[in-house]
A = this chain, B = another copy of it.
């Protein structure tokens, strides 16, 4: 079986690494905060004291880090770059800008190291249940070689060449953000026009307007419960990355631009640490004028 190095055992990475261990993959984990990797020992995993120890001899190096800067720090580290063996594959499962993925792919290719960008959607529950949607960019051969490993963590789909995984993640976030906006306006209209929004959601169940967002984020709006599952500030970062990517390809996305502006105002007004369904509050604010 392929030897795996797993870099970044946070809220998402830890259950993903545990799922690999449960399938008996030999796995060494490294985390900037070493204690975060400790729980994998119970599942037969090894905790490395350094990044070079983790990657030396690994066939597959999985990174699952918070953002572009955290991934850059690892991928530009000589201790990382110089200790990965030739023909090994780096799979970056973090959500980063497409151009960041391209840069790392090109840089690793110089050392004869393969690369896949493979961001995920599904949150910590998806990570635990191994039901993550895994959007993959890279060469078909490399994807096929690593399919089994990815399949242990969720449902991998090869979308296209390197960066396609990250572009698909942005597409995912467009749809999630704009659907939250749609549900927020639908709930607001019902509340103002005297229809029971909870019963509206029940009535729409199974129809064309139905979605996970309607059933979960819609109910959060009605309950005014904005305890963060996905943070507003994170979604603003995603919306900015979407429009940054669009700009790189000379594409104007009018609805995404509007919703980005709404998330921006929401964060400026102090709602950054609330759930992204709090976009409802921005509709509320506009209507208080």
Contact = CB atoms under 8 A, between A and B. Distances in A.
Interface of A: 98, 121-123, 126, 131, 133-137, 155, 157-161, 163-164, 167-168, 170-179, 181-183, 185-190, 192-197, 199-200, 202-214, 242, 245-246, 248-256, 258-259, 262, 283, 286-287
A160 B190 CA distance: 10
Nearest to A209: B175
- Copies of this protein in the complex: 2
A211 B135 contact: no
A189 B170 contact: yes
A170 B163 CA distance: 39
Given A189-B253, A204-B133, A179 B211 contact: yes
Contacts of A209: 121, 171-173, 175-176, 179
A209 B171 CA distance: 9
Greatest chain B CB density within 10 A among A131, A136, A159, A206 is at A159
A8 B260 CA distance: 45
A121 B202 CA distance: 13
B178 A185 contact: yes
